[in-house]
Chain A
């Protein structure tokens, strides 16, 4: 008996160590990025000093004192928050409509398919038409322009995910609210939405992360004043790469911190979102 128990204990320890090694491999680059943000330039360009160096806060101090990082951070926040607000206002009623109207199942299925394909399409396909759309409205290089673009991507996502949450709310509860004299809007706001609130919050946070990280459209549609955070590495690599290397590490840490916090908080949902709901 004790031999079997020992063998079990041994395999538990071995497998746990293996899991630790795998996790460390995947987290190592982030950890190294974090460590590097406290390095002076001389330590950054010397791999033999990877973990032996005199830490400094200079990169962070310079970032806040001498660069417009604060402004770029604000731009990103405005665009991401603006887009998720509008997407919620438009997407939630649409999802409710899809979940509850009496349209034939075939039409509903086609509309759902349309929203799903919007999520599947490579964004680069939209870049050209959106460029002309925005330039004809004089919205290039504005917050509003980028908000519109991100909204176009967030709405299908919210519709697609929220539809499933709404479908999972039992019809009887809603019927009861109608009998009590609620209109469908009241029923949505007071009965259905509170019941699917966790799903909504997770959807919004997911959209926030996607908007926060988005590069292609930001790169194409924004200029110096409306630039967002993901554009920073590209301009560094091309221009002041050598001089300001340390700044980029500090800024990198500041850029990814909010998304790491959100992502860990909604981890199960995150995988679900990236798989368009296919992973349960």
Chain B
């Protein structure tokens, strides 16, 4: 038990520190002028258009990637759960690979694949008679590339999570429904889907948490650009603090971020412990 208390103290300290600096004028090159300014930083950040853009882009990124991952993951899980598919273990082992690859290596590699001059993707487009696309100079395309990296890394995770849920379903219900004359689509729509809904929700929430952490791919591939297209919250906070040294403002953003995640965490904890 002393261990637990020690750990609690060790993890609480950084938060206290963060909270204090969020109420201070704190510009690193002039660290000696550090002083309390009340709510000034908060007001500044809430009015900051870049912060607003960043929040919107982050939410957009999260909803697009999760939408694709959950639908694709659900399809893959159904496929791998089909009784007749052979070599299931092999496919599972292969699918596990993207989620554990060092993210910066994967990011660099996608950067190479999408290179405008000699990348594999543009070459493929040219070979089917299309023009190569300016992947990194167009904001929408850059956003797409970063999303593809995320989708590639995490869809298998979502798929394997849903697969675990599917495998826990009871076979006899399906047999009963088949005897009653239900077709495959009806089985999916009226049996599988309602029973797996909770797993889908948990998978989406977990994915939400992991996507909030997005940093590596942006740091390697786009550096937030072009413009502010991929300037996601994590990268914004990092840049404010360690590129522009405005610790006060960065702390405010971190605190706001923390509050948001705290609410989500509470929600998830209830979900997960219900399952136990």
Contact = CB atoms under 8 A, between A and B. Distances in A.
B37 to A, nearest CB: 17
A173 B110 CA distance: 52
Interface in A92-129: 93-94, 97-98, 101, 103, 109, 111, 113-114, 116-118, 120-129
B103 interface: yes
Interface in B172-210: 202-203, 206, 209-210
Given A94-B7, A275-B206, A220 B102 contact: no
A153 B191 CA distance: 40
A45 B123 CA distance: 11
What interface size band does chain B fall in?
35 or more
A275 B11 CA distance: 22
A15 B85 contact: yes
A213 interface: yes
Interface stretch (A57-65, A137-145, A233-241): A233-241
B28 to A, nearest CB: 10
B128 interface: no
Interface string B1-38: 10110111011011101100100000000000000000
B233 to A, nearest CB: 8
Contacts of B210: 274
Contacts of B80: 19
Nearest to A12: B84
Interface in A207-222: 209, 212-213, 215-216, 219-220
Nearest to B105: A252
B257 A256 contact: no
Interface string B57-85: 00000000000000000001001101011
Interface residues of A, number: 90
Nearest to B100: A263
A219 B107 CA distance: 15
Interface in B102-123: 102-113, 117-120, 122-123
Interface of B: 1, 3-4, 6-8, 10-11, 13-15, 17-18, 21, 76, 79-80, 82, 84-88, 90-113, 117-120, 122-123, 152, 155-157, 160-161, 164-165, 168, 202-203, 206, 209-210, 212-213, 215-216, 219-220, 233-234, 237-238, 241-242, 247, 250-251, 254, 257-258, 261-262, 264-266, 268-269, 271-273, 275
Interface stretch (A24-32, A66-74, A175-183, A189-197): A24-32
B10 A271 contact: no
A78 to B, nearest CB: 17
A252 B234 contact: no
A278 B15 contact: no
A16 B85 CA distance: 5
Contacts of A45: 117-118
A47 to B, nearest CB: 3
A280 B168 contact: yes
A279 interface: yes
Contacts of A259: 100-102
Contacts of A274: 99, 157, 206, 210
10 contacts: A32-B120, A46-B118, A113-B265, A122-B233, A124-B254, A220-B242, A233-B220, A275-B161, A278-B271, A279-B160
